[in-house]
Amino acid sequence: MAPSSPDRQEIHRWMVRLADGDRAAFPPLFEALWPLLRSFSRRLLSQHHDAEDVAQQALLNVFRRAGEFDPQRDALSWIFGITAYECKTVMRRRYRRREEPATPTMDLKRQLQAPDDTEQELIRQELLGAAKEVLGSLSPQDVETLEAAFGNCQRPMVSAAAFRKRLERALKRLRLAWRLKIDSP
């Protein structure tokens, strides 16, 4: 299989086989995961040399924990969860050194548009899925407020100050939900 065209289900199957102890699944899984994790880390971290290190660390963590993988879970989400956690650790370290703010530097909107190959498509799907999941955990009013703020629907009939307050609260809850999502690999 070409390393640039990994299929979500195929990755899941390899992961399940590896968790069961089938070593034959190691080489194709490694070939499929390395470019994926590298792209994912590059998108989350702005500095490429850090991204490469983080991708390596995440890859080692994925294989270290492969024996504990639960086949009921989606393998790719589990793998990206581990990688996102690694990225967050690096960002926290940078923040402690006051190199940059402890928030992801990626432009999420740019990430969700224009995938350039299969890997990017998988990552885009993963990010979209995570975003939908996080949005789904918010109350309907919060979702409506956020959509109105992004211009996707009409602004509710409230004063500008009330809307601003609502938006502030919705964003706070969104941030919390997103943090919870990426903190649980």
Partner 1 sequence: MTPPKELEALAGRARRAYELGRLRSQLHWATLALAPLALGLHFSGKTAAMFGTCILLSLLILALRWRGQQYAQGVLPGLTAGLLALSVPVLACSSGLCPARPSPLLLTLCVGGGVMAGAVVTLRALSTQCCSVPFLLAAASVAAVTASLTCAVAGVSGILGMILGLAVASSPVLVLARVS
> Which of 48, 64, 165, 179 is the binder for partner 1 (CB under 8 A)?
64
Q: Which of 85/163 has CB closer to partner 1? A: 85
Alpha-carbon distance of 26 to 7, in angstroms, equals 15
Q: Of 5-13, 64-72, 90-98, 172-180, which part binds partner 1 (CB under 8 A)? A: 64-72
CA distances to 63, 83, 104 from 55, in Å: 12, 7, 16
DSSP 139-162: -HHHHHHHHHHTTSSPPPSS-HHH
Q: Of 22-30, 43-51, 114-122, 128-136, which part binds partner 1 (CB under 8 A)? A: 22-30
Backbone region of residue 116 per phi and psi (left: phi > 0; alpha: psi in -120 to 50; beta: other values)? alpha
Q: Is 20 in the site for partner 1 (CB under 8 A)?
A: yes
> Which of 66, 84, 146, 182 is the binder for partner 1 (CB under 8 A)?
66
Q: Which of 78/178 has CB closer to partner 1? A: 78
Q: Is 47 in the site for partner 1 (CB under 8 A)?
A: no
Q: Is 70 in the site for partner 1 (CB under 8 A)?
A: no
Considering Cα of 40, then 45, then 49, then 50, what sign does the dihedral take? negative
Q: In terms of DSSP H, where are the helices of the chain? A: 8-20, 26-44, 48-64, 75-96, 108-111, 118-136, 140-149, 160-183
Q: Is 15 in the site for partner 1 (CB under 8 A)?
A: no
Residue 75 CB coordination number (10 Å): 25
Residues between 90 and 119 that touch partner 1 (CB under 8 A): none
> Which of 30, 46, 106, 138 is the binder for partner 1 (CB under 8 A)?
30
Q: At 41, list the tokens.
A: 């880390």
> Which of 27, 71, 101, 156 is the binder for partner 1 (CB under 8 A)?
27
Residues forming contacts to partner 1 in the complex (CB under 8 A) are 18, 20-22, 26-27, 30, 34, 38, 52, 56, 59-61, 63-68
